[in-house]
């Protein structure tokens, strides 16, 4: 079983997340891509206004509904924060010892990868795959490895979708439409819970 692991805050998940996951799945011939919403990213500890984890999980499940080879795993929500990728991969390896894992990273994640916890072990637990949009070469990005450190990685071309979760939150606050940027079921959840209406909102379920 070849499994892609795609982590993030997903606040909210949008069409870009779905497109790059499908592209990576196809190009890498993966059996499945797991979306793994973070409980709290180590780089966002102490930030306010992050949507309740259970709501982000619900939105992520809604975003991939109907896509047979995309699924969502709550593995990081069931651990105390912060959510370290190495802990997630260790747990997935224990759960599925015969699986071959591929950690899917966006360019922004790759740019900080050298500062992640136990990056050498991450590289041993999963193939590191950097998703390159528009043919951009991730070799031009410095991941910030410590001197002498080398972690094997590869890149895979995915389509570029010019949308971000930050832009979606800003559009909701401004009263602009997000219908073309977010799967309809996710839009429904955002409206149902009045998410992102105020910059200081706690956004809890």
What the chain holds in terms of domains, given with CATH numbers, is 2-163 (3.40.50.620)
Mean pLDDT within 113-138: 89
Reported pTM: 0.92
Res. 44: pLDDT tops 90: no
167-179 pLDDT, tens per residue?
A: 999 999 999 999 9
* Residue 160 banded pLDDT, cuts 50, 70, 90: confident
* Residue 46 banded pLDDT, cuts 50, 70, 90: low
Long-range CB contact pairs, 45-50, < 8 A, 24+: 45/81, 45/82, 48/200, 48/202, 49/199, 49/200, 49/201, 49/202, 49/203, 50/9, 50/11, 50/203
pLDDT for 135 equals 59
């Amino acid at each position: 079983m070849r499994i892609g692991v795609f982590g993030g805050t997903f606040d909210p998940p949008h069409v870009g997340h779905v497109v790059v996951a499908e592209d990576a799945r196809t190009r890498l011939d993966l059996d499945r891509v797991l979306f793994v919403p973070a409980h709290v990213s180590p780089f966002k500890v102490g930030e306010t206004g992050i949507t309740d984890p259970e709501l982000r999980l619900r939105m992520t499940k809604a975003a991939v509904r109907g896509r047979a080879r995309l699924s969502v795993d709550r593995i990081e929500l069931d651990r105390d924060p912060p959510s370290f990728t190495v802990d997630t991969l260790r747990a997935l390896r224990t759960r599925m010892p015969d699986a071959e894992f591929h950690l899917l990273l966006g360019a922004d994640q790759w740019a900080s990868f050298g500062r992640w916890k136990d990056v050498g072990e991450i590289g041993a637990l999963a193939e590191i795959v950097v998703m390159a949009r528009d043919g951009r070469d991730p070799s031009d990005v410095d991941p910030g490895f410590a001197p002498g450190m080398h972690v094997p990685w590869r890149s895979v071309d995915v389509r570029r979708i010019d949308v971000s979760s930050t832009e979606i939150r800003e559009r909701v606050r401004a009263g602009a439409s997000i219908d073309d940027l977010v799967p309809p079921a996710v839009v429904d959840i955002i409206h149902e819970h009045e998410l992102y209406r105020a910059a200081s909102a706690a956004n809890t379920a």
